[in-house]
């Protein structure tokens, strides 16, 4: 089935790229969504099976695949609204949808792959398709964003490749040449620790470009800013999750070797630095879309702190990235309506949004409450568990500093958000504000509600899968 999925998606990509007919383009996008849901349901039914050697429907992959498929539906709906509102020409429309389909296909395959080199290949493909989406507007700023993204991602995938080479050196002592995660885990005792350290450093650094951690987070911010908001929603959520999968699967291997403590130190310090950097930028940032992007860096920092702390932190980390995906994507989906009203991204020129679009303003308000992890947001639960894991690990000083940083982030986020919602913008002429249908906000409400539901009252099967994803880690 995964073979059919990949071939089908490739066929759709090729036809989409050359088709100019409006009906055909949209029906192909719809067809891809059907295909996406078919593979998702198939993966649930054939749980733990391996197909085509390199793809396994394991718990982590399946949960994230379901998350992706759920977010993909509103992503296409909002893309449709976006394209029709901007009266895009036939060519840009076709390229946009092609890149979107290719991106979702590559992310899905990356989640499911059980071999580090295969994950790497699909990460490369996401770079290609993402760059086409970032360059959608064809102007100077978009070009700058695309160039930075492509260049940083090219370096980071090179880093991952170097890491894979070191990993193969580390495996040579074990007399094996199979780089699948399962084989690495089985031969963990025979891996050469020096090469393993180098491999982890390079692979971790490489995947931070996708995950959005220090040191490679910069490119992702520009990408989320310049790409159309529906594509930005995918970059800020499911693409970050791909980076997480790449790091996490390898982390499982290294956590079962004597290098666990060292790896915790590496991951923990990168995570803390990300949190610090995102705080600094959140206090300064005036572009609301970039503010959402920096909030993503903050959340990934929290997630990786949970991974580094261990214990309940592993479980909470995976819960957190899923809930974060729902919340952050709804904020990004909402952004286009905000932009339609004010025609500006700067905080200075946006204000009193409740007056112009009450439904959309409700989404922003609820999204703000969710993203800052205030109850009843589901993120509250996962963040609380992560703090508990840091506490259990005995890092009380770290916890205090983290909480202080988070307080500053909530202050900055809240200050900007309440300005957007309630304080009138100076000199804004509201005679030409278009009417926005409340139905366009429906998907955002559903996503936010899903985050609350999954956080506060997770279904038993969901908890079981989360627990299985972290079962291989030492508790």
Partner 1 sequence: MIHVLLITFIITLFYMSIANRLMTYIKVLALQGVILFFVVFLQLSEINTLNLVLILLETIVFKSLAVPIFLGYLLKRNNITREAEPFLPNFVSLVITTFIVVITILISNTIKDDHLDKIFFVVALSTLFFGLYLIATRRKIITHVMGYMVIENGVFVLSLAVGNEMPMLVNLGILLDIFASVLILGIFLNKIGDVFKDVDVDQLSNLKDY
The nearer residue to partner 1, 175 or 427, going by C-beta atoms, is 175
Q: In angstroms, what is the minimal distance from the CB of 218 to partner 1?
A: 10
Least gap, CB of 279 to partner 1 (angstroms):
13
**Toward partner 1, which CB reaches closer, 70 or 242?**
242
3-state class (DSSP) for residue 350: coil
Which uninterrupted H or E stretch holds 55?
strand 55-56
Half-sphere exposure (Cβ direction) of 121: Cα atoms closer than 13 Å: 9
What residues make contact with partner 1 under the rule CB under 8 A? 117, 120-121, 124, 127-128, 131, 135, 140-141, 143-148, 150-151, 154-155, 157-158, 161-162, 164-165, 168-169, 172-173, 177, 192, 194-195, 222, 225-226, 281, 284-287, 290, 346
Which residue, 161 or 428, has its beta carbon nearer to partner 1?
161
Residue with smaller CB distance to partner 1, 152 or 361: 152
User: What's the closest the beta carbon of residue 122 comes to partner 1, in angstroms?
Assistant: 12
d(CA 109, CA 112): 5
CB of 113 to partner 1, least distance (A): 14
Task: Assess contact for 123 and 115: CB atoms under 8 A.
Answer: no
**Closest CB 132 distance from partner 1, rounded Å:** 10
Q: Which residues contact 419 (CB under 8 A, 6 or more apart)?
A: 347, 350, 351
The β-bridge relationship of strands 55-56 and 50-51 is: antiparallel
* Minimum gap (Å) between residue 422 Cβ and partner 1: 21
**215 three-class SS:** coil
Nearest residue to 110 (alpha-carbon basis) of 120, 102, 97, 100: 120
The minimum distance between CB 347 and partner 1, in angstroms, equals 9
To the nearest 10 degrees (0 to 180), the angle between helices 218-226 and 140-172 is: 140
DSSP helix/strand/coil, 243: helix
Q: Considering the complex, state which of residue 144 and residue 430 has its C-beta at the smaller distance from partner 1.
A: 144
Other CB atoms within a 10 A radius of the CB of residue 89 amount to 10
Q: How far is the CB of 169 from partner 1 (least distance, A)?
A: 6
CB of residue 456 to partner 1, shortest distance in Å: 34
From the CB of 276, what's the least distance to partner 1, in Å?
A: 16
- In the complex with partner 1, the residue whose CB is nearer, 161 or 391, is 161
Token reading at 170: 């580390």
Q: What gap in Å lies between CA 335 and CA 236, rounded to an integer?
A: 13
Cβ-based nearer residue to partner 1, 298 or 440: 298
Nearer to partner 1, 70 or 134 (CB): 134
H-state helical runs in 173-287 = 181-186, 193-211, 218-226, 229-234, 240-255, 260-284
Beta carbons of 387 and 378 less than 8 angstroms apart? no
- Selection from 102, 84, 113, 87 nearest residue 26 by Cα: 84
Which residue's CB is nearer to partner 1, number 49 or number 176? 176
Nearer to partner 1, 174 or 446 (CB): 174
Q: At how many degrees (to 10) do helices 312-342 and 460-469 cross?
A: 110
Residue with smaller CB distance to partner 1, 158 or 343: 158
Q: CA-based Rg of the chain, rounded to a whole angstrom?
A: 21
CB of 52 to partner 1, least distance (A): 16
Residues whose CB falls within 8 Å of the CB of residue 374, separated by 6 or more in sequence, listed in order = 380
H or E stretch covering 51: strand 50-51
For 346, list phi and psi in degrees, rounded to 5: -80, 140
What tokens appear for 58 in the block? 């394991």
């Amino acid at each position: 089935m995964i073979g059919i999925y990949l071939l089908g998606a490739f066929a759709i990509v090729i036809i989409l790229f050359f088709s100019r007919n409006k009906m055909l383009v949209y029906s192909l996008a719809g067809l891809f969504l059907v295909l996406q849901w078919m593979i998702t349901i198939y993966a649930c039914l054939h749980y733990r099976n391996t197909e085509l050697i390199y793809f396994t429907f394991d718990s982590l992959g399946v949960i994230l695949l379901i998350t992706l498929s759920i977010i993909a539906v509103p992503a296409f709906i909002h893309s449709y609204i976006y394209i029709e509102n901007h009266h895009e020409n036939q060519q840009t429309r076709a390229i946009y949808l092609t890149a979107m389909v290719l991106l979702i296909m590559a992310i899905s395959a990356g989640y499911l792959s059980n071999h580090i080199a295969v994950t790497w290949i699909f990460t490369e493909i996401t770079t290609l398709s993402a760059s086409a989406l970032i360059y959608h507007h064809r102007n100077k700023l978009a070009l700058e964003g695309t160039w930075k993204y492509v260049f940083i991602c090219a370096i980071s995938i090179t880093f991952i490749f170097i890491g894979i080479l070191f990993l193969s050196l580390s495996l040579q002592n074990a007399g094996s040449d199979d780089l699948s995660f399962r084989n690495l885990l089985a031969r963990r005792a025979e891996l050469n620790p020096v090469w393993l350290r180098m491999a982890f450093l390079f692979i971790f650094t490489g995947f931070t470009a996708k995950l959005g951690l220090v040191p490679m987070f910069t490119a992702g911010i520009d990408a989320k800013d310049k790409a159309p908001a529906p594509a930005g929603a995918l970059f800020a959520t499911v693409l970050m999750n791909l980076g997480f999968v790449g790091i996490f699967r390898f982390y499982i291997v290294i956590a079962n070797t004597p290098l666990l403590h060292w790896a915790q130190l590496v991951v923990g310090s990168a995570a803390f630095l990300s949190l610090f950097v995102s705080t600094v930028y959140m206090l300064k940032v005036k572009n609301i879309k970039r503010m959402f992007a920096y909030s993503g860096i903050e959340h990934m920092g929290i997630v990786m702190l949970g991974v580094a702390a261990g214990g309940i932190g592993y479980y909470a980390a995976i819960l957190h990235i899923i809930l974060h995906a729902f919340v952050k994507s709804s904020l990004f989906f909402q952004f286009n309506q905000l932009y339609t009203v004010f025609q500006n991204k700067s905080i200075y020129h946006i204000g009193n949004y409740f007056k112009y679009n009450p439904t959309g303003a409700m989404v922003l308000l609820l999204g703000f409450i969710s993203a800052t992890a205030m109850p009843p947001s589901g993120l509250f639960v996962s963040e609380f568990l992560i703090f508990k894991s840091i506490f259990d690990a005995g890092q009380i000083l770290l916890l205090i500093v983290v909480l202080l940083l988070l307080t500053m982030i909530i202050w900055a986020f809240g200050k900007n958000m309440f300005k957007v919602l309630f304080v009138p913008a100076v000199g804004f002429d509201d005679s030409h504000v278009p009417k926005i249908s409340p139905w366009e906000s429906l998907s955002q409400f559903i996503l936010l509600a899903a985050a609350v539901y999954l956080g506060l009252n997770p279904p038993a099967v969901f908890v079981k899968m989360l627990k299985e994803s972290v079962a291989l880690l030492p508790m």
